[in-house]
Structure 1
Amino acid sequence: MPPSKKAQPKELITYLCTRCRWDFARTENDKPKCTLCGKTDRLKEIARQPMSPQALEGAMMRSMERLMTGLEGAYEAQQTQRGSSTREDEKKNDDEEILLLEAMVKAKNLQKNVEKAFGKGKRVRTIKTKL
């Protein structure tokens, strides 16, 4: 007997984790779980949209923006720390810098591919929340 297929999602639901103040999106088929702290309690539904390319694009672009912001912050922190490093730490710092720069390039390429998949130049709609 073939395994049963999951029903196609019809809605994209945005939740706010009241524990860490992080918002994230899931379909109605997925159990809500905070992508930052990993907890499943203290989640508040803040928006519900019909599943559409635009809704999916908005959620993906928010994730891409957060990813880039996090990587840029890590790079800036690494550069600040670098000024007070000793000679022994220079090699380690160089390796860390290379890893961060490579991750930033990969994230930027992913962001471009997502934009291309949804049609470049489109403006992403913001979600109206129930707050």
Structure 2
Amino acid sequence: MSITKHWLFLSFGLLWRSFLLLQIYGLVFSLLIAKFLLSNSSVILIKPTLLYGSLALIIFIAQVGFKLNLLRAMLGKRLNLSQTQWRICALSLACLFATMATLNAVVAFSTSFDFWLYYKVFASPVLLVAGIFATSWVAISRDSIHQ
């Protein structure tokens, strides 16, 4: 399989796994937040920051502390990646979510609500997809360098 084909296969595989992980965690996170916090405007603005930040922390702690790769656990054997590639993907994804949490906090508290809403609806998904494609490119590149 060529590098480009392998990269696209990995990118789309990571994309749907990441979206699935984000949706499941987002549902659980929303239910927990609804129990403990009232729904006012500041909670609405900070909720994506807390979601992305805590997910980044969970992925990082699972990978580094417990040697458990959450993406690999979700049907990861079909992607046929080495242990090093899985580790790169998990840590890169944790960095991506931490960056998205930071960006959301900056946009939420330094701009108007309307601008934050446009960021949340349009820019945030584009950044997520671009970050996942970059993550898969880094994993493929690292593997081709070491071979």
Give the number of the structure whose alpha-carbon radius of gyration is greater: 1
Answer whether TM exceeds 0.5 for this pair. no
TM-score (norm 1): 0.41
Higher RCO structure (Cα 8 Å, ≥6 apart): 2
